Amino acid sequence: MASTSQNHQYGENVIVLPPTAQLQALLTLIRDEKTHRGDFVFYSDRIIRLLVEEGLNNLPVVPKEVRTPTGVDFNGVSFEGRICGVSIMRAGEAMEAGLRDCCRSVRIGKILIQRDEETTLPKLFYAKLPEDISDRFVLLLDPMLATGGSCLKAIEVLLEHGVKEDKILFLNLIASPLGIQAVSQRFPKMKTITAWVDAGLDEHAYITPGLGDFGDRYFL
């Protein structure tokens, strides 16, 4: 879990992973412009796994008693409801494997959002979601959170499909303070789990120091 001070800085529903030596080393590797694609994918996947694990830590559980092979009852827990993943294409698709590694046979939906050239606003181009998504907890996947426009639009799509705001967990590698504020203020009941919050945005609205175009570096 992130520290109390981190949660208070960005709001109680924003969780920043603890800045461990391992996490900082992994982020340094994927930020380096000299890192080749194979290494970028490998180390990005390790961070994604940490994010997914933290996301699962924040799902509600209910008591469950089981009998162990020694014949003794054990009072444990099980997840309260079913989950699914929804990736914001295309960069968010890089996070799907990490979710599948932790949750066998998990259902995954996809949302494609691009900027409308006339209005400059984010516009929905494609959405394919599980039919019963309104009954599930949703892990929304997108590695980069800059201005927050695409994320906000994706959340709107989920709400239109009956998903409750407090059943959405947004998993993100690197965020800008502006993006964090935009999402948490608009949807305060939704949890955001990010690995790192960068300094800000440059004149082109790119996260700085950032790591470049995540989708290009991961897939190309």
Please report which residue ranges of the chain form alpha helices under DSSP H: 4-10, 21-31, 37-57, 96-102, 149-160, 177-186, 214-219
Q: How many CA atoms lie within 13 A of 44 on its CB side?
A: 29
DSSP conformation letters of 43-100: HHHHHHHHHHHHHHHTS-EEEEEEE-TTS-EEEEEEESS-EEEEEEETGGGGGHHHHH
Tell me which residue of 165, 196, 167, 199 sits closest to 183, measured CA to CA. 165
The SS3 of residue 150 is: helix
User: Quick check: 168 and 191 in contact, CB under 8 A?
Assistant: yes
List the catalytic residue out of 116, 132, 202, 216: 216
List the catalytic residue out of 32, 116, 202, 213: 213
List the catalytic residue out of 115, 132, 202, 208: 115
213 part of the active site = yes
Token pair of 30 as six digits = 């994927």
Q: Which residue has the tokens 């426009």?
A: 149
List the catalytic residue out of 4, 68, 119, 120: 119
216 part of the active site = yes
User: Quick check: 138 and 158 in contact, CB under 8 A?
Assistant: yes
Question: Is the bond into 209 cis (omega within 30 degrees of 0)?
Answer: yes
User: Quick check: 167 and 59 in contact, CB under 8 A?
Assistant: no
Which of the residues are catalytic? 115, 119, 213, 216
